[in-house]
Amino acid sequence: MDQILDAEGLSEIAPSVEAFLQQTFGEPLALDINPELLCAAVLREQAQLVGFGLAYLREVQQGDSVFSAGIIGSIAVAPAQRKRGYSKKLMDALEQQLCAAGADSAFLFAYQPAIYHSSGFEALEIPIRFFDKQSGALQQFVYRGGMVKLYSSCFSLSTETIEFNGCVY
Residue 2 — very low, low, confident or very high, per pLDDT cuts 50/70/90?
Answer: confident
Residue 86 scores a pLDDT above 80: yes
**pLDDT score of 87:** 93
Residue 57 — very low, low, confident or very high, per pLDDT cuts 50/70/90?
Answer: very high
Percent of the chain residues topping a pLDDT of 70 = 99
DSSP assignment of the chain: --EEE-HHHHHHHHHHHHHHHHHHHSS------STTEEEEEEEEETTEEEEEEEEEEEEEEETTEEEEEEEEEEEEE-GGG-SSSHHHHHHHHHHHHHHHTT-SEEEEE-SSGGGGGGGT-EE--S-EEEEETTTTEEEEE--TTEEEEES-TT----SSPEE--S---
**pLDDT score of 111:** 85
Is 1 or 161 the better-scoring residue by pLDDT? 161
Percent of the chain residues topping a pLDDT of 90 = 83
State mean pLDDT over 26-31.
90
pLDDT digits (tens, 9 = 90+) for 87-136: 999 999 999 999 999 999 999 999 888 889 999 999 999 999 999 988 99
**pLDDT score of 72:** 97
Residue 154 scores a pLDDT above 80: no
Looking at every residue in the chain, the average pLDDT score rounds to: 93
Residue 80, amino acid: A
**pLDDT score of 79:** 93
Residue 1 — very low, low, confident or very high, per pLDDT cuts 50/70/90?
Answer: low
